[in-house]
Every structure is written in C-alpha cells, then in structure tokens.
Amino acid sequence: MLDSNYFHYTDKRLNCEEVRLEELGRTFGTPLYVTSAKSLVESYKAFEQAFEALPHFTCYSVKANYNLTVIRTFAELGCGCDVNSGGELYRALQAGVAPDKIIFAGVGKKYEEIAYSLECGVLMLKAESLSELQAIDQIAGEMGKIASVALRINPNVTAETHPYITTGDSKEKFGIDEAELPEVLALLRQLPNLRLVALDMHIGSQIFDPEYYVAATVKLLALYNLSKTMGFAIEFLDIGGGFPVTYDPCKPATPIERFAEKLIPMLLPAGVTVIFEPGRYLVANGSVLLTKILYKKRNHAGKEFFVVDAGMTELIRPALYQSHHEVQAVTRHDETVVADIVGPICESSDFFARHRKIDAAEEGELLAVMSCGAYAAVMSSNYNGRLRPAEVMVNGSDVKLVRKRETLEQLIQSELL
Ligand code: LLP
C-alpha cells in the first residue's frame, strides 16, 4: 500500500490531506482526479534541496501534467517550464510562466510553432537536427530576431526502463548524434540568426540507476569541452528529466539524493548553470484517480472482476506500458478478495490491475488508483465517446475545482454536420 503524508487513512477512510476522498466523490462525481497541492510543493522542494549545491534552473516538464493550476503551483515557487509543442507553450503562458523561463523542446516543431516561440521570447529552443537548426535560423531571420538555441545530443546510452520511454539510444529518433556534433557546430557558425546557449540531453523516463546519467553526462561534458575549444560560450548544460518515483512499494525508487551525489561533482567544475527537466518526479505521487465500483462479477472460472467507471481513457499507462498502479479502497474493509479491476472500454487491455488483492469493497463504493499525477490526465482521450474527468486540487482542508468535467456538448463542439 502506498501511504503518504498526502494520501492516508484515518478511521478507515482514505483522505487527501485533510479531506475525505469519499466526500470529494460525492461532491464532484467520478471519475475524478484529486491532486494534493502540498505534495507538489514538497516534491519540488525535495528536488531543489538535493541539487542545492549546484547552480541550476529547474524546468518542470509540463507534458507530465499540464493542468494550469499544477503549472502555476510550480511557477509560483520559481520553477521554469519545459514545453514540447505550441499547445504546451500556450498553456504555460496562460498559467503565468514568464516566457524567459520556458524552454521549447520537441523532435518535430512546425514552422508556426517555432515562430510562436520566438515571438514570445522563450529562453531557448532545443534543436534536434541539422535541418531544424536551418529552419530556426531562417524563421528567426525573417522575424529579425536572434534565436537562442540548445543542441539536443543523443548520447547513445540505453537506460534500463520500459522500451517505450527510453530516448537516449541511437536507435531512437531523438537528438543529434554525438559524433555529428563537430559538423553541426561548424555549420552553426554560418547561421547568423542563431546563438548557441546550451547542450542538452534526455535519456529516458523512470530511470532507477544513476549510472546511466553518469555515462551520458561524461559524454555531454566532453562535447561541452569540444564546443569550448571551437569558441562557443555555452551557458547551460541540460541534463533532462527521467528521475524515478515509486509506483509499487515493492520496487521503491532510488532517492533523488543518489542522483545528486553523482551528478553534482561531475557538473560543478564546468562552471555553467545546469538545467533539469523533471516531470514525473514532481507530480506522479501527487494525484489519485478516484473511481466508483459499478459492478462486481465472477465468471465460470471463479475469476472476480470489479468493473469501475474509469478506464484506459483516463489512465492508459497499464495498457500501454504494463505499468503498476496501486489501487486502494477509499473505505477500508477487513476482508480482502483477489480481483481484476477493469474499466468500461471495449478493449481487453482496459484494466488497472489484474489478479490484485484488494479490500472487499461493495458496488457503489470508491477506489483510488494511486500515483496518477504524471502521464495520466494528459494522456486521456475521448475514445468510446468518453468525457474527460473533472480535476480537483486539495490544499489542507481547502478544495478547488481546477478542471470541469467535460460535457456532451463539448464532445462534438468542433465537428461540422
Ligand atoms: N524532458 C524531455 C525532453 C522529455 O521528453 C521528457 C519526457 C521529460 C523531460 C520528463 O521526463 P520525466 O521526468 O517525466 O521522466 N508517458 C510515459 C512517459 C513519457 C516521457 C516523455 N518524455 C509514461 O507514462 O511513463
């Protein structure tokens, strides 16, 4: 069971901070995302404290959870943002993030997105190919601007994680080959509308072993030295995100301090500002997905199912990455059963847990799918005509609706008949 300061039982009832989850379910309905504001603040502070000894700038990777209130919570703490599209850039700006605290990444930025980010005055655009550098140079030239750019390097380090979320391997589409860098730097000299400000990497997500970061940082530092000898004055080294969290109490994540103690001594001598782009680390354990048990049934083989009112449309991670999420009864029972917890979508992969020991909750009771702060709401869809759920943020005993439940009208509002 994942029990934290933010999601904990009192009198056999699960709470978010000081608020009972069953009360939130009654007030706002289900499925419902519930986020603990204090958890966001605490994880940001823990991250900052771990890297305190290193001059750095943390940019929250908003792709993990781009709810405006979530982004604003970090922005108010001084955090910057890493965005991956014009849409995420728009969200960050709407949440109140200053443009010069935003870095714009993405392997396939469109012309309009590049122009939009230059117009806004983002801190830097990360380029992932020679062609993209040329495009940014051309667009900046047309706009009469000098674009601050970072080069995303593919360090060819295969971090051990789910194959769909490893990105620093030469088999993957991301970044510029380390071997290609001298050629790219030489070309950069001839592009008058660009200013190289950073070298960047991101080797993947949910990486437990700090040694992968060490291996990639060795390469990044070598390229940094090369760029120095070629006369470039680089201000930032961007290490990316990927720091792990605990989803399954049997597989606790490596504490962030283990990463800091390896990386700080390596990066400090470079005398640059280090950028980090944590997403999951800051938000994953800050939210739960609250869902109601609609029906319980048992098949001829004696298999028990809890059919709940949320599914892969609200949380696709188990279907897509076979990821583990704890599922906890909102009201504790003394008896337990072993059941599959499945959603209402017409796909066999629509499950949250299989063969899971769980409190013997009854139909109509609520379950909390834990660790749903990262890559959950943002990956939700309207498949099967589903309405995206409401989202609430809890701070102490204060509850705020931060996203309304979608309506049937919204479901069809962009279509023309
Ligand atoms: N920076 C870049 C360039 C990224 O591509 C990512 C994530 C991050 C930072 C943040 O990584 P984090 O700290 O959250 O690991 N949907 C998958 C995860 C995809 C990650 C994509 N890139 C999942 O649910 O596990």
C-alpha angle with apex 157: 161 to 207, nearest 5 degrees? 30
Mean per-residue pLDDT over the chain, rounded? 95
Q: 20: which strand partners?
A: 15
**Ligand 1 atom closest to Cα of residue 320:** 24
Paired residues of 395 in beta bridges: 398
Short-list 223, 126, 222, 243, CA closest to 174: 126
What's the 311 CA to ligand 1 centre distance in angstroms? 22
Residue 74 or 5, more confident: 74
State yes or no: pLDDT of 380 exceeds 70: yes
Q: Name every protein residue with a CB atom under 6 angstroms from any ligand 1 atom.
A: 61, 63-64, 82, 105, 165, 202, 205-206, 240-243, 277-281, 317, 321, 374-375
Higher pLDDT, 43 or 170: 43
Choose the residue to mutate in 102, 107, 205, 320 for probing ligand 1, maximizing ligand atoms within 8 Å of C-beta: 205
**E strands within 141-193?**
147-154, 176-177
Looking at residue 166, its pLDDT comes to: 66
What percentage of the chain exceeds 90 in pLDDT?
90
Q: Name the residues annotated as catalytic.
A: 346
Ligand 1: centre distance to CA 280 (Å): 7
pLDDT digits (tens, 9 = 90+) for 147-204: 999 999 998 888 777 776 666 666 677 788 888 898 999 999 999 999 999 999 999 9
Q: How far is the CA of 408 from the centre of ligand 1 (A)?
A: 31
Angle at 318 between CA 317 and CA 320, to 5 degrees: 60
105 three-class SS: coil
Q: What is the pLDDT of residue 165?
A: 63
Cα of 52 to ligand 1 centre, how many Å? Answer: 23
Least confident window among 148-157, 365-374, 402-411: 148-157
Q: Which of helix, strand or coil describes residue 376?
A: coil
C-alpha 98/C-alpha 370 separation (Å) is 32
Taking residues 198-224, what's their average pLDDT? 96
Q: Which residue has the tokens 């990444």?
A: 105
Atom of ligand 1 nearest to the CA of 374: 24
Q: Which ligand 1 atom sits closest to the C-alpha of 242? A: 15
The answer to whether the beta carbons of residues 272 and 227 sit under 8 Å apart is no
ω into 255 cis (within 30 of 0):
no
Residue from 95, 31, 67, 68 nearest 390 by CA: 31
C-alpha 199: how far from its chain's center? 21
By C-alpha distance, which of 384, 377, 379 is closest to 344? 384
Distance CA 125, CA 239 (A): 15
Among 65, 103, 280, 282, name the best residue to mutate to test ligand 1's pocket (greatest count of ligand atoms within 8 A of Cβ).
280
Mutate to test the pocket of ligand 1, among 63, 125, 246, 276 (most ligand atoms within 8 A of CB): 63
Q: Is the dihedral of CA 311, 242, 86, 80 positive or negative?
A: positive
Tokens read off for 326: 């704890």
How many angstroms does the Cα of residue 283 sit away from the middle of ligand 1? 12
Residue type, 77: L
Q: Is residue 57 within 8 Å of 236, Cβ to Cβ?
A: yes
Instruction: Kindly tell me if the per-residue pLDDT of 77 is higher than 70.
Output: yes
Q: Is 283 helix (H, G, I), strand (E, B) or coil?
A: helix
Domain ranges of the chain: 7-36+284-411, 105-278
Local confidence band at 3 (pLDDT 50, 70, 90 cut-offs)? low
Query: Considering only CA atoms, which of 33, 21, 37 is closest in space to residue 405?
Result: 33
Q: pLDDT tens for residues 99-123? A: 999 999 998 999 999 999 999 999 9
**How many angstroms is it from 375 CA to the middle of ligand 1?**
8
Distance CA 203, CA 172 (A): 10
Contacts of 226 (CB under 8 A, 6+ apart): 181, 182, 185
pLDDT, tens digit, for every residue of 260-314?
999 999 999 999 999 999 999 999 999 999 999 999 999 998 899 999 999 999 9
Rounding to the nearest 10 degrees, give the CA dihedral for residues 290, 410, 351, 310. Answer: 20
- The CA distance from 67 to 86, in Å, is 15
Q: pTM of the predicted model, to two decimals? A: 0.97
Closest ligand 1 atom number to CA of residue 152: 3
Cα–Cα distance, 366 to 315 (Å, whole number) = 16
Residue 54 has pLDDT above 70, yes or no: yes
CATH class of 7-36+284-411: mainly beta
Give the model's confidence band at 2: pLDDT under 50 very low, under 70 low, under 90 confident, else very high. Answer: low
The stretch 240-251 carries a mean pLDDT of 97
Q: What tokens were used for 315?
A: 């949380």
Q: How many CB atoms lie within 10 A of CB 179?
A: 10
What's the rounded mean pLDDT across residues 52-69?
A: 98
Q: Which residues contact 292 (CB under 8 A, 6 or more apart)?
A: 25, 30, 31, 308, 309, 364, 365, 366, 367
Q: CA torsion 87→311→341→367, rounded to 10°?
A: 70
DSSP codes of every residue in 303-331: -EEEEES--TTT--HHHHH-----EEESB
CA 205–ligand 1 middle distance (angstroms): 5
Nearest to 335 by CA among 300, 313, 310, 304: 304
CATH number of the domain at 105-278, please? 3.20.20.10
